[in-house]
Amino acid sequence: MLNIQITKNIRIIADDKNYIVQKRNKIKNDGFGKGAKVGQWTNWRDDGYFQDWDYLMQEMLHLKIRRSDAKTLEEVVSTIREWKTPKMLF
């Protein structure tokens, strides 16, 4: 099945009906509980379901813009241009 690592903390997987955006979720364990070990590990949490690849890409671009530190329209446009460059996807 599809499994594309977008960034260290975001990946895209798929099932038979959807593309699924997942985010890495850090879990801390204090060592309590049966068989628990002290430490930290990560798992993946579903963050969005998309039936259409184009809509998925559009939503990821919107998220990138909303999370940017842009202060001007030019910086937003630059973010969009960077995203539309294929190397920015991987």
More confident residue, 87 or 41: 41
Same structural domain, 12 and 34: yes
Same structural domain, 2 and 36: yes
Q: What would the pLDDT profile of 34-61 be if each residue is shown by its tens digit?
A: 555 666 667 899 999 999 999 998 898 8
> Nearest to residue 48, comparing CAs of 84, 15, 23, 27?
23
pTM over 0.75: no
| Total domain count, the chain | 2
> Nearest to residue 59, comparing CAs of 8, 6, 1?
6
Q: Which domain holds residue 68?
A: 52-90
- pLDDT at position 90, please? 43
Contact (CB, 8 A) for 39 and 30: no
Assigned token pair, 72: 């001007």
Same structural domain, 12 and 37: yes
- Percent with pLDDT over 70 in the chain: 78
Same structural domain, 5 and 43: yes
